[in-house]
Copies of this chain bind each other. A is one copy, B any other.
């Protein structure tokens, strides 16, 4: 199997092309094989709803790429072709750079995590330095697991900022200004592997429909509430990247006409009143010790009224922005991620009320709103999924 080519493996490819569909159908076959073990082509067709012609085309393709092996068998007295996943030993790497950490997962192409490490980074870290540290951590993980470097297909990297898919460059507006202008090539040089990059919220959404409890959900919004507030979209069953790749900028919904200036250059954006850093700042007024996200979690669980009020105000505003979007894209599911999800209903309740307030009744009633099931692993798992999907797509 060849390594995945550079960015972008998905968005730049014409999503209406044979490739996008074939990829989806491959995923379906791989999932069925993972769940049911070796199966005949006829069983695969019955089990996935795909036509026998489609199954046979894709199986042939996957066999050429070495994803599956086929062998003739007899089934109910007829000749049939048995299909089974080959363990090629290929590894997909997912890396998630956050504000104060980097997390790395190694996965098989069958969505099985084989190693996972997280490392703290100082606030305001130097990006090239942190990237080299992460590359060294990955090298140590590969050595520790006795994995050949050649078995790594590619490294998927999640970055907390918008990425211009035309150029593979992190744009102005990144939560961490240090990331602005970083290019794919810089990352490839540091990691010495092929690299694919995506925005952290997009990867959260992808993780939910690949690793999470929400496989098969076709229209989903993943909202990450952190220092920034961003959304990743799965629409019609595929990650959605829009025209330039700059989607889900929910945090820049204006909510305060005369509000403060936002880092995007606009005024009164949602982020200026509802991000975790604004919550921390608000709760820090008149308090000697600085407040942290961990404090908000802890005090929220103890039902501290100030914390509950700040979280409630932020959650309601975020819910209102989600409601506006839900009116237009009618998602089946809205998943909330980010460091505050441990607050549970203290966060979800206000978000739901905000949606209720801004969405038309039928949308408010039918849209399911839940906490992400993947916690702080969502982005790194999504980054690995990006590599796995690229590998299954091949170089079409």
Q: Nearest B residue to A241 by beta-carbon distance? A: B330
Q: Please indicate the chain B residues that have their CB under 8 angstroms from the CB of A330 in the complex.
A: 241-247
Q: Please indicate the chain B residues that have their CB under 8 angstroms from the CB of A54 in the complex.
A: 18
CB within 8 Å of B: which A32-54 residues: 50-51, 54
Segment of A113-121, A180-188, A248-256 engaged in the interface with chain B: A248-256
Known: A16-B238, A238-B16, A240-B235. A246 touches B362 (CB 8 A): yes
Q: Please indicate the chain B residues that have their CB under 8 angstroms from the CB of A17 in the complex.
A: 21
Distance (whole angstroms) from the CB of A145 to the closest CB of chain B: 35
Q: Nearest B residue to A321 by beta-carbon distance? A: B324
Residue A173 CB within 8 A of the other chain: yes
Contact status B237-A235, CB under 8 Å: no
Residue A371 CB within 8 A of the other chain: no
Contact status A361-B18, CB under 8 Å: no
Known: A244-B330, A328-B231. A15 touches B237 (CB 8 A): yes
Q: Nearest B residue to A358 by beta-carbon distance? A: B254
CB within 8 Å of B: which A319-367 residues: 320-321, 324-325, 327-332, 357-363, 366-367
Residue A395 CB within 8 A of the other chain: no
Complex Cα distance, B244 from A219, in Å, reads 10
Contact status B327-A249, CB under 8 Å: yes
Residue A236 CB within 8 A of the other chain: yes
Contact status B18-A266, CB under 8 Å: no
Residue A233 CB within 8 A of the other chain: yes
Distance (whole angstroms) from the CB of A313 to the closest CB of chain B: 15
Q: Please indicate the chain B residues that have their CB under 8 angstroms from the CB of A16 in the complex.
A: 21, 24, 218, 236-238
Q: Please indicate the chain B residues that have their CB under 8 angstroms from the CB of A366 in the complex.
A: 243-244
Assembly stoichiometry (copies): 2
Distance (whole angstroms) from the CB of A368 to the closest CB of chain B: 9
Select one of B18, B25, B252 contacting A50, CB under 8 A: B18
Contact status A331-B250, CB under 8 Å: no
Interface of A is mostly: loop
Residue A265 CB within 8 A of the other chain: yes
Residue A20 CB within 8 A of the other chain: yes
Contact status A360-B328, CB under 8 Å: no
Q: Please indicate the chain B residues that have their CB under 8 angstroms from the CB of A253 in the complex.
A: 324, 327, 358
Complex Cα distance, B203 from A248, in Å, reads 25
Contact status A362-B171, CB under 8 Å: yes
Complex Cα distance, B331 from A90, in Å, reads 37
Contact status A360-B266, CB under 8 Å: yes
Contact status B357-A247, CB under 8 Å: no
Q: Please indicate the chain B residues that have their CB under 8 angstroms from the CB of A248 in the complex.
A: 328
Distance (whole angstroms) from the CB of A260 to the closest CB of chain B: 16
Residue A294 CB within 8 A of the other chain: no
Residue A264 CB within 8 A of the other chain: yes
Q: Nearest B residue to A235 by beta-carbon distance? A: B235
Instruction: Name 13 A/B residue pairs within 8 A (Cβ), A-sorted.
Output: A16-B24, A16-B237, A21-B21, A172-B361, A172-B362, A243-B366, A247-B330, A250-B327, A252-B359, A254-B324, A254-B358, A266-B361, A324-B325
